[in-house]
A and B are shown apart, each in its own frame.
Chain A
Amino acid sequence: MRRGTWLLLFAIGCAGSQSVLDPAGPPNRSLNHLFWAMLIVASVIWIAVVVAAFWAALSRRRITREDLEPIITVPNEEHRRHTGIVTGLVGATIVILLLFLVYDFTVGRALAERPSRTLTIEIIGHQWWWEVHYVDPDPSKIVVDANELHIPAGEPVQVKLSSRDVIHSFWVPNLIGKRDLIPGYTSSLFLNADRAGVYRAQCAEFCGTEHAKMALPVVVHSRNDFAAWLSEARAPAAVPNDSSARDGRQVFLAGPCSSCHAITGEPAYGTVGPNLTHLASRKTLGAGTLPNTRGNLGGWVVDPQSIKPGVRMPSNQLAAKDLRNLLDYLQTLK
């Protein structure tokens, strides 16, 4: 419980990489102003109503015989006074609501602004992972990645959302509110971050068995870092030098892996699962389910079903040596 209390305080402070109240960009910052304004007003109203109710109920607990007589007729002036009070309160409610409304529209308009020229990223939802395309007018420069989103700070980024199966919802709490990925619709929102860091996005619309394990680390780079990252991301995978990794590459290409996964630069073009060209440089495995370590990767390859039950990746029975080599290879995919 002490830990709980401590964290409750922490929660009210609400710092974190997946927190609405720790804005990392202008849109969420203006939303936070709206939130705090509404919260304060709402809190005042709540306290006032609760205090009034308790006071009314508790102030006259001593009951005399007379008190039990029901009051059927109320003197006119008292009635008028009551009417005045209620009318006043209702009026105040309306005024407060109007103010909320105007404030909300103002913030909403600001959030809805469409910057003219921006980087466009397509995010495609799958059960239960994210496919990310960094769009470029030159098709050969399009980068296909998965389960991690990289964006530059200080520049609005357009995110186009679509889904291949069921409804998902894209949500980076630190940056902006969510947007659904609905089959048959393409929608878009603008991400605008001004603070580099890693934020956590998570699917926010129930999408089936593993809805809980469909997260997306969002890496906000400084502008230069982003350019560097992007050019790195465009580089195809190289054939490794070391022999065990080369054997692992063979395991990958000859075994079941390449039926579902793609590695740019290698004859593996599967689209069923995430693109693995830069697997080793990712922070997590299984769409934000596990930290990307060698041990976890091994566990994931062999028995994903016990880590993320229901995931579309089957369990793989590999000889110990093959698994070792495969992991050696996968770890070269920076």
Chain B
Amino acid sequence: MTDPIRRLPPNESAVAAPGVLPGARPTTLSDEVVLADAAALELTWADKPGLWGWLTAVDHKTIAKRYIFTAFLMFIAGGIEAALMRMQLSRPENTLIGPDRYNQLFTVHGTTMMFLFAVPIMTAMGLYFVPLMVGARSIAFPRLNAFGYYTYLMGVLFMYVSLFINMGPDAGWTSYPPLSGPQFSPGHRIDVWAQVVTFTEIAALAAAVNIIVTTFKMRAPGMSLNRIPLFVWAQVTVAFMIIFAMPAVATASTLQLASDRAVGTHWFNPSEGGDALLWQHIFWFFGHPEVYIIFLPALGFITSIVETFSRRRVFGYTAIVLANITTGFFAFGLWVHHMFATPIPELGQSLFTAASMVIAVPTGVQIFCWLVTMFSGRPRLTTAMLFILGFFFTFVNGGLTGVMLASVAFDKQVHDTFFVVAHFHYVLLGGGVMPLFAAFYFWFPKVTGRMLSETLGRWHAWLFIVGINVAFFPMHFLGLNGMPRRVYTYLAETGWGPLNELATIGAVIAVLGVAVFIVNAAISWRGGLFAGANPWDSYGLEWATPSPAPSYNFVNTPVVLGRHPLWDTGSPLPVVTGLRTDRREVLVTTTFDAQPDSRHKHPTGSIWPLVLALVMAELWIGSIFTPWAVLGGLGLTLLGMLGWGLQSVREQDVERVDTGAEIVEAA
């Protein structure tokens, strides 16, 4: 970015906002004090150097970076699988990949994209930015956070090692029993799937708990509920959804499917009184919210980006917050629309049709709000905005086919066909990946301190958006022409060849786009232009600290006087002081009004999260091979927890804040 960066004078109305900390004395901080504090804080907060420090790191930014990096690798892996599948399908009766390999590929592709890429990367974005955006020193539970990452990493490794030794799951990412049950899936392929899902659930739950507590208890003074950035609102909504959705799939996969397979329970055995449909209900009770777990954070990205580049505060903050929450709520009431072809009574189906249509409303509200924001603002067409336009082009299409799919009669025709494949790729790529790329372009400077190349970015954007649409638009027709999904080949007489060829060409274009991005990121990581603290002249607290953000995030906790702190108040922001610099301390504020409440001693680096993740991995992976591993694993896990707990107990310390915190104005 070459645009000149200018400090804006504090907005009059924002300054006039009432003091959030009654009784606090405004003082001024000299530069020397700030520099000294920064040096002391760096000593206190930085992760230890060396391999040990690397293994014991708990800085939320470090962990989130690893998360994002790993998840993006998974995106590439999933993309390679997709490309292979597109190669196989590019012409009829192709023999490039046989059915056994193909079935593993599409299963691993789906599982990777949903469990190992989309959910982790979306929550990881939250883990990186939520503390920064709410002006916190750190995340609420840094060790839990690290544990979550390592657990997720174990899942990733397990899945891909398995795939390479021909043990990749092969019953679809939905793994419907009885196909995924012990009789029809011998060996351990499906067990791998069930346990990988478990790994990612644990990781997601750890992240969700962290985001919720960080948001509700660690906001900067003054950031009352109605000033929380929409990005954070989206993350919080999703965190709650994770807490309600993930246990469902944990029950289904770990408890029911895995025990059916390992110890011969009969959850899904219709002969002995089990029920194959039970799985589908539980799975989709998780599976449908899952889509929104991926999609809602993306809406948070979009709001930040649209606001920044439209140069206008977003229209309808309250409406968007409510829309977010409504979406999260309704997302749990739609699952049956994945099951319209099953023998479920028609009245029940109708209710879910209605619910599926209703959920279009809150999404519509958000889209309309952004449109109005863009209309009444002064948009700049950066790469990030280009991706946002890609979002409008692609996602709205997918959303509308989604509304069509809510119709039972129509859904029964195109359910499980390439029409649905087209639909959800439009939704997920348009509503998830494109905003994610926009976010990469937007926040890359904050994470690395350097700008991504806009020129390469435009290549990336156009190639990707065009590629995706060329790849998936023809699939609508394929589906309507009768092509079921999850087929490894098709006959020439079906006439599906040319459109498949076209789709493959589209996939190649999209892959090129991603390749351009990888090149861009690789070059810019070390060689991009320096970004400075706030290259886009955006408004959030994350831009109120240097790029990349220091280990302690902020030298002094900023004070928030409006929804758009940097626009409202200008930089530098007022801050509170009084947190100790010689040990890790965070400021805990009240849930609603974010009044300073207490100072918490904050955990330091620890090896226990890694240890615990390892022993729990042993438990889950071992349980595939023998149920006894559960016992052994439980013992080890208990030991791991004990070690972790003892370390925490030793360090436990809470102090109430009375007058320790002060609001000061920066010099």
Contact = CB atoms under 8 A, between A and B. Distances in A.
Direct contact of A and B (CB under 8 A): yes
Interface of A: 3-4, 6-8, 10-12, 14, 16, 18-21, 28, 31, 34-35, 38-39, 42, 45-46, 49-50, 52-54, 56-58, 60-61, 63, 67-74, 78-79, 82-83, 85-86, 89-90, 93-94, 97, 100-101, 104-105, 107-108, 111-112, 127, 165-167, 169, 171, 173, 176-180, 182-187, 200, 202-213, 288-289, 309-310
Contact of B178 (A83, A89, A108, A166): A166
A14 B319 CA distance: 42
Contacts of A73: 11, 13
B376 A108 contact: no
A173 B376 contact: no
Given A60-B379, A112-B346, A12 B409 contact: no
Given A18-B482, A173-B413, 8 more contacts: A16-B495, A53-B371, A89-B368, A108-B407, A177-B409, A200-B494, A206-B172, A207-B179
A56 B374 contact: yes
Contacts of B178: 165-167, 183
Given A67-B378, A90-B364, A72 B567 contact: yes
Contact of A8 (B271, B403, B482, B499): B499
A71 B312 contact: yes
Interface string B1-33: 000001010010110000000000000000000
B353 A101 contact: yes
A108 B346 CA distance: 9
Contacts of B319: 86
B477 interface: yes
Interface in B186-230: none
A108 B350 CA distance: 9
12 contacts: A11-B481, A21-B481, A28-B413, A35-B413, A46-B400, A85-B372, A86-B319, A86-B372, A180-B342, A186-B343, A202-B484, A208-B171
B568 interface: yes
Contact of A97 (B316, B360, B486, B567): B360
B36 to A, nearest CB: 34
A61 B415 CA distance: 42
B396 interface: yes
Contact of B410 (A31, A45, A309): A31
A46 B6 CA distance: 38
B13 A3 contact: no
Interface of B: 6, 8, 11, 13-14, 98-100, 103, 171-172, 176, 178-179, 183-184, 270-271, 274-277, 311-313, 315-316, 319, 341-343, 346, 349-350, 353-354, 357-358, 360-361, 364-365, 367-369, 371-372, 374-381, 385, 388-389, 392-393, 396-397, 400-401, 403-404, 406-417, 474, 477-482, 484-491, 494-495, 497-499, 501-502, 537, 539, 564, 567-568
Contacts of A68: 6, 311, 378, 537
A34 B568 contact: no
Given A97-B361, A208-B184, A19 B403 contact: no
A104 B368 contact: no
Contacts of A202: 482, 484
Contacts of B568: 72
Nearest to A49: B396
Contacts of A69: 8, 311
Contacts of B474: 8, 11
Contacts of B477: 8, 11-12, 14
A86 B368 contact: yes
B607 to A, nearest CB: 43
B484 A204 contact: yes
A209 B410 contact: no
Given A97-B357, A177-B415, A212-B488, A16 B501 contact: no
Contacts of B271: 184
A184 B280 CA distance: 14
A110 to B, nearest CB: 9
B357 A165 contact: no
A50 B13 contact: no
B390 to A, nearest CB: 10
A182 B353 CA distance: 22
A13 to B, nearest CB: 10
B482 A86 contact: no
Contact of B311 (A70, A97, A180, A213): A70
Given A16-B482, A42-B400, A100-B407, A208 B179 contact: yes
A178 B392 contact: no
A47 B346 CA distance: 33
Contact of B404 (A38, A127, A183): A38
Contacts of A107: 407, 409
Given A178-B415, A204-B484, A212 B99 contact: yes
B505 to A, nearest CB: 8
Given A100-B357, A167-B276, A309-B99, A204 B270 contact: no
A286 B270 CA distance: 28
Given A93-B361, A112-B346, A167-B276, A19 B315 contact: no
A4 B381 contact: no
Nearest to B397: A46
A20 B380 CA distance: 43
B482 A19 contact: yes
B419 to A, nearest CB: 8
B365 A97 contact: no
Nearest to B408: A108
Nearest to A177: B412
Given A31-B410, A112-B346, A179-B341, A61 B484 contact: no
8 shortest interchain CB distances as A-B pairs? A184-B270, A177-B412, A18-B482, A212-B487, A56-B374, A187-B343, A7-B498, A53-B392
A166 B180 CA distance: 9
A113 to B, nearest CB: 11
A18 B447 CA distance: 51
B365 A71 contact: no
A86 B378 CA distance: 19
A177 B414 CA distance: 7
Question: Which of the listed residues A63, A72, A97, A173 has the most CB atoms from chain B within 10 Å of its own CB?
Answer: A72
B392 A206 contact: no
Contacts of A205: 176, 341, 416
Contact of A165 (B184, B274, B364, B414): B184
Contacts of B365: 86, 90
Contacts of B497: 7
B321 to A, nearest CB: 14
Nearest to A203: B484
A16 B481 contact: yes
A73 B486 CA distance: 52
Nearest to A291: B493
Nearest to B270: A184
Given A90-B365, A179-B412, A180-B342, A39 B404 contact: yes
B482 A31 contact: no
Contacts of A58: 381
A3 B498 contact: yes
Given A14-B477, A39-B404, A72-B14, A49 B371 contact: yes
A72 B99 contact: no
A283 to B, nearest CB: 11
A221 B133 CA distance: 68
A53 B390 CA distance: 10
Contacts of A208: 103, 171, 179, 184
A93 B481 contact: no
A187 B477 CA distance: 29
Contacts of B275: 184
A12 B411 CA distance: 19
A70 B172 contact: no
